[in-house]
Chain A
Amino acid sequence: MKEKIIKKEDVEYLGRLARIELTEEEKKKFEKELGKILEYISKLNEVNTENIEPTYHVLPLKNVFRDDIPESSTSKEEILKNAPDKDDDFFKVPRII
């Protein structure tokens, strides 16, 4: 029996890392589907990439900067406008632990 590429515990761990709570059903589903997808993806191993540089950017751009000049910032009210929980000055979040 072929060893599973990805197991339910892996999916759980990844969910924690990505801060997404998955239902039991989702964990089982993803274990199956991601297994299939990862198997398909492994066909990249057929390709010889010795001495090939990765392409992190398709264009040969370098040294794109901005000058250290202040521009008007967005108002506090606008930035806080969409916040789910806030007071006049701050975003509010629950305790860490």
Chain B
Amino acid sequence: METLKLSIWQLRELYKKKEVKPSEVVMSLIEEIYKKDKEIHSYLYINEKAIEQAKKVDEKIAKSENLRELEGIPISIKDNICTKEIPTTCASKILQNFIPPYDATVIERLKNAGAIIIGKTNMDEFAFGSSTENSAFGPTKNPFDLNRVPGGSSGGSTASVASNLCFASLGSDTGGSIRQPSAFCGVVGMKPTYGRVSRYGLVAFASSLDQIGPITKNVRDNTILLKIISGKDKKDSTSVNIEVPDYEKHLGEEIKNLKIGVPKEYFIEGIDREIKEKIFKVLKLLEKEGAIIEEITLPHTSYGIATYYIIATAEASSNLARFDGVKYGYRSKNYKNLFEMYTKTRGEGFGEEVKRRIILGTYVLSSGYYEAYYLKAQKVRTLIKKDFELAFEKVDVIITPTTPELPFKIGEKKDDPLKMYLSDIFTVNVNLSGLPAINIPIGFSLNKLPIGLQIIGNFFKEEEILKVGYVIEKNIKEEKYE
């Protein structure tokens, strides 16, 4: 069905004009998922109840009732976001049969806007990974090349959007988990400012870094979704009481005299040549539109990975302690006492990468090592954040590559965890600082693999990065980039 290739705002129009029924869309979507997703494996769970929900919207439309912003729009949800009465597994054996008794706040907000949850998407187990190969239920493939990874940890979400198996998705980003797979799959993925979107209901990885964000086919759809999920939540003490702008209204604003910073530390040796070329082309395009390109420096960039992996694994080791076979989830069958119940449940229920990160996180918090590792990393974090704060005194947005490489082959990095960690080099510093950032697809490589560009904004200035992304998107379409 051609309708499945549409964007949210286009589908909305069709609904309003009564040219297509939500139930028809949902049914053909589910059919398509059963057909295509065998190969891609972006979904872990398909919500068959969606058909009934869609039929109710049919009635609403037939009676010409007022439609809410996302009425009848099928959205997929990364499987670490709690959905009431729908299994939420975090792609882990230890949560294999967990059905939350509550909805995450973002889910409540989507439902209040009329959205239909079509299914839960695959991910790296507990969001630990950059390729979705760490899922306990099998990897997701990149829709553009089934031998390659879709990126991670929100690989299922980005693949489902890229292959038109949903109209949009919600993912989560702790060190690049929305942006990097968005780049690998050629979709728009936004990590909002820390505190912009409620974390209540997001199974925590690293509490001081996590954010939920929208993954969409284009920039306009992203603004629609972002507005709906943003805003203060009294259940999340770290969410912020700042007014949510109407992001969509800012699209189309001029970028004349907008200062764009290009950090020299992000254009070092080792970046794929085609990525660099495409980015420079885009920068020229932006200059033509009147923006001013300025070279800036973010001196502590190279310390980002080390800082990130200390803080993130430390917080994760504590956040994942609750998975113990007592209250929910998997429990081992081979134990003699409580201690063994814990150790065997967690030993059998967690995958290798999860175990590795928990051990590392336990180490950096342990007695005798806390100062040298955790405390030290939090101090370097201050310096990384200050780099950005100084830069934003001079420029309005910052543009960088999203990833140093094109989507790699499945299995290529599995045996070298450190190598896998280093692919996050351009995304982690944004999480450490709490800033908003978005991936904008800017074309394809010669062998038709998606290339992405990252725009970083100042605190709570999502509208700035969205508006620049919109300009890029428009121009790319017009110039017919490959």
Please tell me if B83 contacts chain A, counting CB pairs below 8 Å: no
Are B237 and A64 in contact, CB atoms less than 8 angstroms apart?
A: yes
Are A26 and B355 in contact, CB atoms less than 8 angstroms apart?
A: yes
- Minimal beta-carbon separation of A96 from chain B (angstroms): 5
- Minimal beta-carbon separation of B161 from chain A (angstroms): 28
> What bracket does the count of chain A residues touching chain B fall in?
35 or more
Please tell me if B433 contacts chain A, counting CB pairs below 8 Å: yes
Contacts of A21 in B (CB 8 A): 340, 343-344, 346-348
Interface centre among A46, A58, A61 (most CB of B within 10 A): A58
Which residues in window 314-355 of B have CB below 8 A to A? 317, 321, 324-331, 335-344, 346-348, 350, 352, 355
Are B97 and A41 in contact, CB atoms less than 8 angstroms apart?
A: no
Instruction: State A1–B360 Cα separation when bound (angstroms).
Output: 24
Q: A44-B376, A83-B328 are in contact. Are A37 and B97 (CB under 8 A)?
A: no
- Minimal beta-carbon separation of A46 from chain B (angstroms): 8
Contacts of A55 in B (CB 8 A): 378-379, 381-382, 385, 432
Are B101 and A78 in contact, CB atoms less than 8 angstroms apart?
A: yes
Are A82 and B97 in contact, CB atoms less than 8 angstroms apart?
A: yes
Instruction: State A60–B359 Cα separation when bound (angstroms).
Output: 31
Q: A53-B382, A79-B101 are in contact. Are A20 and B350 (CB under 8 A)?
A: yes
Which residues in window 3-31 of A have CB below 8 A to B? 6, 10-11, 14-23, 26, 30
Are A41 and B338 in contact, CB atoms less than 8 angstroms apart?
A: no
Which residues in window 35-55 of A have CB below 8 A to B? 36-38, 40-47, 49, 52-55
Please tell me if B411 contacts chain A, counting CB pairs below 8 Å: no
Q: A15-B359, A57-B208, A74-B101 are in contact. Are A44 and B306 (CB under 8 A)?
A: yes
Q: A34-B359, A37-B417 are in contact. Are A93 and B379 (CB under 8 A)?
A: no
- Minimal beta-carbon separation of A29 from chain B (angstroms): 8
- Minimal beta-carbon separation of B397 from chain A (angstroms): 18
Are A95 and B337 in contact, CB atoms less than 8 angstroms apart?
A: yes
Q: A41-B306, A44-B307 are in contact. Are A56 and B378 (CB under 8 A)?
A: yes
Are B360 and A37 in contact, CB atoms less than 8 angstroms apart?
A: yes
> What bracket does the count of chain B residues touching chain A fall in?
35 or more
Q: Mark B356-371, 1 if CB is under 8 A from A, else 0.
A: 1011101100100000
The binding surface of chain B is classed by DSSP as helix
Nearest B residue to A79, CB-CB: B101
Are A43 and B306 in contact, CB atoms less than 8 angstroms apart?
A: yes
* Contact pick for B238, options A20, A41, A59, A83, CB 8 Å: A59
Q: Mark B273-302, 1 if CB is under 8 A from A, else 0.
A: 000000000000000000000000000101
* Contact pick for B359, options A14, A43, A54, A58, CB 8 Å: A14
* Contact pick for A83, options B327, B336, B355, CB 8 Å: B327
* Contact pick for A18, options B317, B380, B382, CB 8 Å: B317
Are A40 and B234 in contact, CB atoms less than 8 angstroms apart?
A: no
- Minimal beta-carbon separation of A50 from chain B (angstroms): 9
* Contact pick for A54, options B99, B343, B362, B375, CB 8 Å: B375
Instruction: State A40–B304 Cα separation when bound (angstroms).
Output: 12
Contacts of B194 in A (CB 8 A): 58-59
Are B195 and A33 in contact, CB atoms less than 8 angstroms apart?
A: no
- Minimal beta-carbon separation of B46 from chain A (angstroms): 21
Are B331 and A85 in contact, CB atoms less than 8 angstroms apart?
A: yes
Please tell me if B268 contacts chain A, counting CB pairs below 8 Å: no
Are A56 and B208 in contact, CB atoms less than 8 angstroms apart?
A: yes
Nearest A residue to B100, CB-CB: A82
Please tell me if A70 contacts chain B, counting CB pairs below 8 Å: no
Interface centre among A11, A43, A84 (most CB of B within 10 A): A84
Are A52 and B383 in contact, CB atoms less than 8 angstroms apart?
A: yes
Are A58 and B378 in contact, CB atoms less than 8 angstroms apart?
A: no
Please tell me if B303 contacts chain A, counting CB pairs below 8 Å: yes
Q: A20-B343, A54-B381 are in contact. Are A84 and B329 (CB under 8 A)?
A: yes
Contacts of B442 in A (CB 8 A): none
- Minimal beta-carbon separation of A49 from chain B (angstroms): 4
Which residues in window 66-97 of A have CB below 8 A to B? 66, 74, 78-79, 81-85, 91, 93-97
- Minimal beta-carbon separation of A74 from chain B (angstroms): 6
Nearest A residue to B358, CB-CB: A18
Q: A44-B376, A55-B382 are in contact. Are A61 and B240 (CB under 8 A)?
A: yes
* Contact pick for A19, options B101, B337, B346, B360, CB 8 Å: B346
Are A19 and B324 in contact, CB atoms less than 8 angstroms apart?
A: yes
- Minimal beta-carbon separation of B306 from chain A (angstroms): 4
> Which 9 pairs between the two chains have the least Cβ-Cβ distance?
A58-B434, A54-B378, A21-B347, A82-B328, A84-B331, A49-B379, A21-B343, A19-B342, A78-B101
Q: Can you list 5 residue pairs at the A/B interface with Cβ under 8 Å?
A: A18-B359, A26-B352, A37-B309, A53-B379, A56-B378
Q: Which residues of A contact B (CB under 8 A)?
A: 6, 10-11, 14-23, 26, 30, 33-34, 36-38, 40-47, 49, 52-59, 61, 64, 66, 74, 78-79, 81-85, 91, 93-97
Q: Which residues of B contact A (CB under 8 A)?
A: 97-99, 101-102, 194-195, 208, 234, 237-238, 240, 300, 302-303, 305-307, 309-310, 317, 321, 324-331, 335-344, 346-348, 350, 352, 355-356, 358-360, 362-363, 366, 373, 375-383, 385, 417-418, 421, 432-434, 459
